[in-house]
Chain A
Amino acid sequence: MYFSNNEVLTVIILIMISLCIGSISLILVLKTRKLIELFRLSLKSRLLRSYIKSIEMSKKRRLRKRYMVFELITYGKNLNISKEELDALIKKCFRELFGLLELSRSGLSLVVIDKNKFRGILRYNSTYRTKVLMALALLQMREGIIFNPLRTTGTLRKALRYTRITK
């Protein structure tokens, strides 16, 4: 079986064309690969960023209050400190550690203190828990007032029920 000259020529031309197309596509792929990867990464990071931002926003939207019931350990001695004085001392320690801005954001305040039962309730925003506890630790080290955190609740009513004191 023989092929004519024209047929051989067409086959060679087709092979050449396919080779050219292949090489051009390879060059194009290599060139655009970096661009595609960059685009993919940016898309990913954008999505991630927006997701993180949405979580942060949702956190920012609602600052939950927390009420910490604590006990003061005095070893049978009377509590010589008033509510206002203790409140001022706690706030002073917090301000010294984290500054005025954080103090105002934390919403820290001493709600109630019972001198007979040596118990009190401290209110703060939930995200500032560790900061408030650190301030209490500093106050204990400085002034010698021993704090025993008993329980943290979400409502004042529950906290009062736990301490069994009336406001």
Chain B
Amino acid sequence: MKYVEFHVKKLNNELVKLLRKFKYYIIVCDNVERHEIMNDIMIIPRITSSSTDELKTTPRNVVRAYVVESKNDLKNYPKIRRIANVITLTTEALIRLGPKSIEKISNLGLPVEVCVNDLINALETSKHLKGLYNLIRYVIINSVDLIVSSCPTKTSEVLHPIFIESILEELGLSSVQAKKALTQTPIKVLRGIGYNVFLK
């Protein structure tokens, strides 16, 4: 099974080695301009932004992630659908977004990306995580596809895929859905962009 680390903010050699050790075979990275293969790992470029104009000007083979912080970011509904490949939810979004906003996201039909860092930050605020639990409700009934990544900037932030799966299982997903969030869904997105990647 090929695990995908869908959001690496800054890539370096140590990080690549550790990701390989943790059985990640595909990395989608912010500070990479071209698709390349390093240490048997496929590295794919990505752009993360909350502005649709910026995403519009990016080349075709780059993963375009639209950042949602509040419900106002979802106002440009039809444009997001056309431009973005993935929707990224921040800590604020995990706390604030209500059921209507999550329904809007599910109607977009795009997979939703959540970083474990943001998730833990949101948990540590000890607030009611309205956005997260509404999202999980939709993920359980398979209305929304979820992608989870550890979003590392340094080596200590790289989590083993088993850890991420267990976090998702504790949040209420089944083991199959948890595994899907790390393997099948990100690969589906990458294949949609035009990369020849497979699950096995």
A residues sitting closer than 8 Å to B (CB atoms) are 73, 75, 129-131, 133-134, 136-138, 140-141, 144-149
Shortest Cβ gap from A71 to chain B (Å): 9
Please measure, in the bound complex, the distance between the C-alpha atom of A157 and the C-alpha atom of B160, giving whole angstroms.
25
Number of interface residues of B (CB under 8 A): 20
Q: Is B14 an interface residue (CB 8 A)?
A: yes
Given contacts A75-B155, A140-B156, whether A148 and B21 have CB atoms under 8 Å apart is yes
| Contacting residue for B164 out of A137, A144, A146, CB 8 A | A137
B residues sitting closer than 8 Å to A (CB atoms) are 14, 18, 21-22, 116-117, 120, 155-160, 162-164, 166-167, 169-170
Given contacts A75-B155, A146-B155, A148-B21, whether A140 and B170 have CB atoms under 8 Å apart is no
Given contacts A75-B14, A137-B116, whether A147 and B170 have CB atoms under 8 Å apart is no
CB-based contact B18/A134 at 8 Å: no
Please measure, in the bound complex, the distance between the C-alpha atom of A147 and the C-alpha atom of B142, giving whole angstroms.
31
Given contacts A75-B14, A136-B163, A138-B120, whether A146 and B158 have CB atoms under 8 Å apart is yes
Which of B116, B120, B155, B162 is packed against the most chain A CB atoms within 10 Å? B162
CB-based contact A130/B120 at 8 Å: no
Please measure, in the bound complex, the distance between the C-alpha atom of A166 and the C-alpha atom of B21, giving whole angstroms.
26
CB-based contact B159/A140 at 8 Å: yes
CB-based contact B170/A134 at 8 Å: yes
Please measure, in the bound complex, the distance between the C-alpha atom of A145 and the C-alpha atom of B164, giving whole angstroms.
16
| Contacting residue for A134 out of B14, B157, B166, CB 8 A | B166
| Contacting residue for B156 out of A131, A134, A136, A144, CB 8 A | A144
Please measure, in the bound complex, the distance between the C-alpha atom of A136 and the C-alpha atom of B162, giving whole angstroms.
11
